[in-house]
Each structure stands twice: as C-alpha cells, then as structure tokens.
Amino acid sequence: MDAIYLTAGEQKLFDALPKTLSKGWQVEEEDQVYEDTKEKFMVRISLMNLRDPKLLALQERVKKTRSHEEIIPLVDQLSLADISESDLLELFFAMGPKILSVNIADLLKRASGPADMNAIAALTFIRRSILTSLLSASTQWSARNK
C-alpha cells in the first residue's frame, strides 16, 4: 500500500510532515464529497452485524454495566488485532467517513514513524472505499426515487 488518499486540507498536514515520513508515498486527492448525517450514522449502527465472539462477549458485559463510565475499562481489555476482519469492516462502515476524517487529521498531526504512516494510508483507503459505496448508493437511491 503506497497510495495515500488525502483531502486538500489533509495534504497541507501531510506536506508539513518531516520528509523522512512523507517520502515514498503517492498522494492522491480524496475529492469525493458526501453529506453524512446523524440519522444515517444511527442507521449504520443499527445495521452493524457483529459475529466475532470476543465482541459479542464484550457486548454482553456492557449490557450489565450500570453507567457509561464502566464501559471503557471493559473496552480496554480488547485490541483490534483480536477482531475478525469481517467485523472490522462492519465497524468502520458504521463509523463512517466523518469520524474517520477526524482521526486521519489527528494522526497526520502526530505521525512519528513508518507504522503511523501505514495506518494513516490504511484509514484513507478504508474511508475512500466507504465514500465510494455511500455515493454510489446515494446515486442509485436518487435514481430510484425519480
């Protein structure tokens, strides 16, 4: 993975990185624009179909909590490395492009090594794929509604 898909704003952050980090990456412009809304975000959460036993067990533990402050210690016991890739796709689709963009911008501001750059490139690829699917659906949806 040597391509990194950045918005115009993110490219400024990328350009400000030390050359040791930015060298070798093929920057491509992310120019897909999609209007995400909280209603769509809520629907995506409702469509999440998680099957990984570790996540299902986590959900069961969370159901027994008495307040939201009890959730993070439970969550901290897991890492994404433990989670199946099909469930990761479910999770990232639910998150959607807005949350991903906030994190990509933050990561660009704090990147300090090749692993960070790989992670940023991965997130931009995932965001691009999600945007493509959302825009495609939006176009098909509009066409059907005519």
Partner 1 sequence: MVSTEQIKSAGRGGRREVPRDFVFTPERASQYLEKDMKTIIAELQTVKGRDRLFEEFMKHEDQIRQEHPDFDPDILREQIDAQGEMRLAKRGLLEDANTPEKKGIWKRAWEAVKSFPRKHPFITTALILAAVAGGGYLAWKYLVNVIPVPDVAKPAAAVAEKVVAPTGGAFDAIPAGNIVGPAPAMPSYAPTTPPVDGGILGGVPPPQPTPVPSLKDIFDSPLKY
Q: 52 to 71, contacts with partner 1 by CB under 8 A?
A: 55-56, 58-60, 62-63, 66-69, 71
Give the end-to-end CA distance of the chain in Å, rounded to a whole number: 40
* Residue 111 contacts partner 1 per CB under 8 A: no
* Residue 4 contacts partner 1 per CB under 8 A: no
Residue 124 burial by CB count (10 A; 0-12/13-18/19+): exposed, middle or buried? buried
Residue choice 26, 28, 75, 112 for contact with partner 1 (CB under 8 A): 75
Residue choice 20, 26, 112, 138 for contact with partner 1 (CB under 8 A): 138
Residue choice 15, 24, 51, 102 for contact with partner 1 (CB under 8 A): 102
* Residue 98 contacts partner 1 per CB under 8 A: yes
| Total residues at interface with partner 1 (CB under 8 A) | 89
User: Smallest gap, in angstroms, from Cβ of residue 20 to partner 1?
Assistant: 18
20 sits in which H/E element: helix 19-22
Closest by alpha carbon to 30, among 114, 110, 131, 115? Answer: 131
- Residue matched to tokens 């909280």: 38
Residue 21 burial by CB count (10 A; 0-12/13-18/19+): exposed, middle or buried? middle
* Residue 13 contacts partner 1 per CB under 8 A: yes
User: Smallest gap, in angstroms, from Cβ of residue 19 to partner 1?
Assistant: 19
Distance CA 25, CA 5 (A): 10
* Residue 119 contacts partner 1 per CB under 8 A: yes
